[in-house]
Amino acid sequence: MHRRLLLDMLDTYVAKFPAEADVAARIRRLVGDHADCFERTCRPGHITAAAWILSADRRRCLLTHHRQLDKWLQLGGHADGQWDAVDVAVRESQEESGIRHFLVARIDGCLIPIDIDVHEIPARYDATGELLEDTHEHHDLRFLLVAAAEEEVVVSDESRDVRWLTPDEVAARTGEESVLRMLRKAMAWMA
């Protein structure tokens, strides 16, 4: 039953963003074929959830400078068996930012992601060259969150920095198309 809810959410997402039907189909295949899709051990990949976070005044975005990937990205992470992707996005945002209260934005009245993405995560090795984690995919559902109030941001161990940025500052720090795509969608939603 829990996978059905995600599949239904993807159907609603495609109705809103039909140009992204191919990416949604890839996620649907993973979810349909793998009962363990919410576990990080699932291969070829697994479900992850993230958040594009807006400040309470909706003028800035919260990004993390990811320690392992050395890139400015949205906050998010593994489902670790939790099947409600919205809850995963909120949990990861709280853990990675220290902010406790978020409002989950609805897209045209629907509780759906503002963006979806499938991307490859490179293999990781320890200092001796021993494989820690193989190459795999993250099937990422990204939700739009708004910080409920100004709270102090705390940098977690996963990040080099976590910072509120204006849209121009985001564009200056990253060329990652998926990050810029979320910025464009959030700006359209704000308008």
**So what's the pLDDT on residue 190?**
78
Distances (CA, A) of 66 to 157, 160, 161: 9, 6, 8
Distances (CA, A) of 111 to 68, 117, 144, 154, 171: 31, 17, 10, 28, 27
| pTM (2 d.p.) | 0.94
Extract the tokens encoding 95. Answer: 């853990």
Nearest of 58, 146, 57, 50 to residue 99 by alpha carbon: 146
pLDDT (tens digit per residue) in 90-102: 999 999 999 999 9
Place of tokens 């400078």: 65
Torsion angle (degrees, nearest 10) of CA 132, 135, 137, 140 = 40
Phi/psi-derived region of residue 123, left when phi > 0, alpha when psi is between -120 and 50, beta in every other case? beta
- Residue 69 — pLDDT band, cuts 50, 70, 90? confident
Class of domain 2-190: alpha beta
pLDDT (tens digit per residue) in 143-171: 999 998 877 888 877 778 899 999 999 99
| Whole-angstrom distance, CA of residue 170 vs CA of residue 64 | 11
